[in-house]
Amino acid sequence: MPGPDETQVGIVGAGPAGLMLSHLLHRQGIESVVLETRSRDYVERRVRAGVLEQGSTDLLTSSGVGERMAREGLSHDGINIRFAGEQHRIDFRRLTGRGITVYGQQEVVKDLIMQRLADGGEIWFETEVSAVEAIDSDHPRITYRRDGEDAGLTCEFVAGCDGSHGIARAGLEAKSYERNYPFSWLGILAKTPPASDELIYAAHERGFALHSMRSPEISRLYLQVEADETLAAWPEDRIWDELRLRLAEPSLQPGEIMEAGITPMRSLVIEPMQRGHLFLAGDAAHIVPATGAKGMNLALADVKVLAEALAAWYRSKSHDLLDHYSEACLRRVWRAEHFSAWMTALLHRDPAGDPFEHKLQLSYLRYITTSDAAATTLAENYVGFQFPSPARGGGRGGGVGE
Ligand code: FAS
Ligand code: PHB
């Protein structure tokens, strides 16, 4: 069943980036088609991120898709850090005046799909994009396969929102900056009440562990594992025993594991994030290790900038914001890349096991958990760093909220 063969903005990928972009464009009267290789059920069930910065929750609320998040999201004013038998709380609210909201990425995706379909939006599921061509022309073209048929969609602009393994960026003559870490995260979603009211980040000599949650009944938990680890090496008893040990949380109760997966830890930035009439957003342009909970927030921040730039073009044929899209995103992206790499190094055990490095790590953890100045560097980045606005002599705003 072929769809229309042309649209204003073709969007590759129905993750948070692609769906939010389509939603924001619709609110500006701009037509788009989202092409998604997976089924709706798969996309809505995929368990990933869990923490929203205030800039992201503001965007969801201001664009009219924040109602369920406001009802079901968990507002948190800080996180806990555990190491060497110590427990310390980083008080975001006292240090920065802001907090975070815990609300699963799959819930954001469900809310956006529901809204787009209610607004008559075009989301073509089970539609695999094979190429994005003619990106230097005024009519870039998406080639895709749907219902066993190959077809094409002629666009005025294309947004590559196809994630960390996306193909949209193939046509960019871009430079990539990459770091691969010598470990991965084993993540589970389990039917067991959280053992803590707030997130627990644990730097244990056996490895990193993280206790997050989705509701008073559902916990989201992670363990640092070998880079090439498989789930087969982690029977459920071993997972729970290791979580209780590393989190120093004997009260954590096992529960039905609803989803388990292993995610490699990787940093990547593609520069520039655009060429001609193709613009990259989200993981298609940059990847961060999940330690700093930045992935989904960066994706939403990118498409807020891109939607404003496209709206300016459709309104007045002004190219300026489009020409500066990549520059407007990269300062925020690199701040999040640095923070995510820094927090990852701070909390993970280095498999190379350098004893001097481990001592430095412990010293830094003690500094961050005793000095307000040091704790503020973590807090202001975790809740979403806000660059000084031009009025205060700084550069252009760079966060979602700016
Ligand atoms: P996404 O990857 O979410 O979406 C891209 C979409 O494009 C996908 O639906 C994909 O199916 C589709 N697509 C790809 N190629 C296509 C093609 N050729 N044609 C059509 N469609 C195509 N971040 C955190 O902050 N915390 C976490 O705990 C966390 N856990 C993660 C676990 C995993 C396994 C992964 C992979 C990522 C995780 N992330 C986490 C990062 C994640 O949340 C991303 O930052 C977020 O999904 C980015 O959103 P998008 O840019 O929309 O990309
Ligand atoms: C999550 O809730 O999935 C989560 C929270 C914080 C992180 C990563 C993942 O740093």
Over the chain, what is the mean pLDDT?
A: 95
Q: Which CATH architecture has domain 9-76+99-177+267-348?
A: 3-Layer(bba) Sandwich (3.50)
> Which atom of ligand 1 sits closest to the CA of residue 105?
43
User: Residue by residue, what is the 3-state secondary structure of the chain?
Assistant: CCCCCECCEEEECCCHHHHHHHHHHHHCCCCEEEECCCCHHHHHHCCCCCEECHHHHHHHHHCCCCHHHHHHCEEECEEEEEECCEEEEEEHHHHHCCCEEECCHHHHHHHHHHHHHHCCCEEECCEEEEEEECCCCCCCEEEEEECCEEEEEECCEEEECCCCCCCHHHHCCCEEEEEEEEEEEEEEEEECCCCCCCCEEEEECCEEEEEEECCCCCEEEEEEEECCCCHHHCCHHHHHHHHHHHHCCCCCCCCEEEEEEEEEEEEEEEECCEECCEEECHHHCEECCHHHCCHHHHHHHHHHHHHHHHHHHHHHCCCHHHHCHHHHHHHHHHHHHHHHHHHHHHHCCCCCCCHHHHHHHHHHHHHHCCCHHHHHHHHHHHCCCCCCCHHHCCCCCCCCCC
**More confidently predicted of 375 and 391:** 375
pLDDT, residue 391, reads 57
Query: Which range, of 104-113, 209-218, 352-361, averages the lowest pLDDT?
Result: 352-361
pLDDT band at 338 (very low <50, low <70, confident <90, very high): very high
Question: Can you tell me the mean pLDDT for 102-114?
Answer: 98
The answer on pLDDT for 393 being more than 50 is: no
The answer on pLDDT for 399 being more than 50 is: no
> Which atom of ligand 2 sits closest to the CA of residue 214?
2
The answer on pLDDT for 17 being more than 50 is: yes
pLDDT, residue 354, reads 87
pLDDT, residue 25, reads 98
Could you tell me if the CB of 161 is within 6 A of ligand 2?
A: no
60 burial type by CB count under 10 A (0-12 exposed, 13-18 middle, 19+ buried):
buried
Question: Can you tell me the mean pLDDT for 383-391?
Answer: 83
Could you tell me if the CB of 51 is within 6 A of ligand 2?
A: yes
Could you tell me the distance, in angstroms and rounded to a whole number, from the CA of residue 163 to the centre of ligand 1? 5
pLDDT, residue 134, reads 93
Q: Which residues line ligand 1 (CB under 6 A)?
A: 12-18, 35-38, 43, 48-50, 105, 128-129, 161-164, 166-167, 261, 263, 282-284, 290, 293-296, 299
The answer on pLDDT for 401 being more than 70 is: no
Q: Note the pLDDT tens digit of each residue in 136-188.
A: 999 999 999 999 999 999 999 999 999 999 999 998 989 999 999 999 999 99
pLDDT, residue 395, reads 42
> Which atom of ligand 2 sits closest to the CA of residue 343?
10
**Which ligand has its closest atom nearest to the C-alpha of 48?**
1
Q: Note the pLDDT tens digit of each residue in 30-47.
A: 999 999 999 999 999 999
> Which atom of ligand 2 sits closest to the CA of residue 49?
3
Could you tell me if the CB of 190 is within 6 A of ligand 2?
A: no
Q: Note the pLDDT tens digit of each residue in 232-262.
A: 999 999 999 999 999 999 989 999 999 999 9
What global pTM score does this model have?
0.95
pLDDT, residue 28, reads 98
